[in-house]
């Protein structure tokens, strides 16, 4: 066996020894490091986490005053028109036949304390008739919005010139504006005075004014 063959044999032997050593180290590492890795993972998984508790204050209750619901008021259409033929109804003066009108109620009202009945042959008459009174009538908004209708009885003094000097509501609907509207309409209307034996006289006369909304 020459030197070359001897060298090859020794080299092969050294290679085998190195391989055996490497394998042994590898096997040793396989047994050692997996256990260490598992232990480290278990240690990580079993960490205790401390959570600090925080007291959350309870919010104070705030009382809110809720306004009471407003009463519902029926509202008329803005384009509602007054029916002049049915808005105001006045006694037919031909029915008086010279009889005394019902006197105003006695009491403390200074406007009616000077009531003196004066007989007449022809009662006062609105110039233009009922339509004239209707044209002078303004339906109060408060009554219109609330849908209020009714009759207001006005004791009226018309002098010998046909001028309305006094108006007193003897039966009405206070707080609705209808009483005032009835008196205003009578005052704005021109009147023919009452006649007694061919001469004009001032008299008291009871005028009922009926307010009615046009619902058509």
Residue 48 inside a domain? The answer is no
Using pLDDT thresholds of 50, 70 and 90, give the confidence band for residue 38: low
Residue 15 inside a domain? The answer is no
Instruction: List, as one string, the DSSP characters of 147-174.
Output: T--EEEEEEEEE-TTS-EEEEEEEE--T
Residue 64 inside a domain? The answer is no
Between CA 34 and CA 32 the distance in angstroms is 6
CATH classification at residue 206: 3.30.2420.10
As a whole number, mean pLDDT of residues 31-40 equals 61
HSE-CB of 6 using CA atoms within 13 angstroms: 3
Using pLDDT thresholds of 50, 70 and 90, give the confidence band for residue 80: very low
Q: What is the pTM of this model?
A: 0.49
As a whole number, mean pLDDT of residues 192-216 equals 89
Is the pLDDT at 171 greater than 70? The verdict is yes
Pick from 20-29, 102-111, 179-188 the range whose average pLDDT is largest.
179-188
pLDDT at 48: 57
Q: Which residue range is the domain that position 91 belongs to?
A: 84-211
Residue 12 inside a domain? The answer is no
Lowest mean pLDDT among 57-66, 124-133, 147-156: 57-66
130-145-166 Cα angle (round to 5): 40
Residue 133 inside a domain? The answer is yes
Between CA 202 and CA 64 the distance in angstroms is 64
Residue 33 inside a domain? The answer is no
Using pLDDT thresholds of 50, 70 and 90, give the confidence band for residue 19: confident
Residue 135 inside a domain? The answer is yes
Residue 138 inside a domain? The answer is yes
Between CA 134 and CA 53 the distance in angstroms is 83
Q: Which two tokens stand for residue 189?
A: 């209307």
Domain count within the chain: 1
């Amino acid at each position: 066996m020459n030197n070359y063959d001897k060298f090859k044999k020794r080299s092969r032997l050294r290679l085998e020894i190195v391989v055996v050593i490497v394998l042994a180290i590898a096997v040793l590492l396989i047994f050692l490091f997996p256990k260490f890795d598992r232990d480290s993972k278990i240690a990580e998984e079993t960490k205790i986490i401390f959570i600090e508790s925080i007291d959350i204050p309870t919010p104070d209750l705030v009382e809110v005053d809720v306004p009471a619901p407003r009463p519902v008021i029926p509202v008329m259409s803005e384009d509602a028109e007054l029916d002049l033929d049915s808005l105001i109804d006045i006694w037919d003066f031909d029915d008086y036949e010279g009889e005394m009108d019902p006197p105003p109620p006695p009491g403390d009202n200074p406007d009616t304390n000077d009531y003196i009945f004066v007989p007449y042959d022809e009662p006062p008459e609105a110039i233009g008739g009922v339509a004239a009174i209707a044209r002078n009538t303004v339906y109060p908004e408060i009554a219109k919005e609330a849908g209020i209708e009714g009759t207001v009885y006005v004791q009226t003094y018309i002098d010998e010139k046909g001028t309305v000097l006094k108006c007193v509501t003897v039966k009405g609907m206070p707080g609705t504006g209808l009483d005032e509207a009835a008196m205003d309409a009578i005052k704005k209307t021109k009147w023919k005075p009452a006649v007694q034996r061919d001469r004009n006289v001032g008299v008291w006369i009871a005028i009922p004014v009926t307010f009615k909304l046009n619902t058509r």
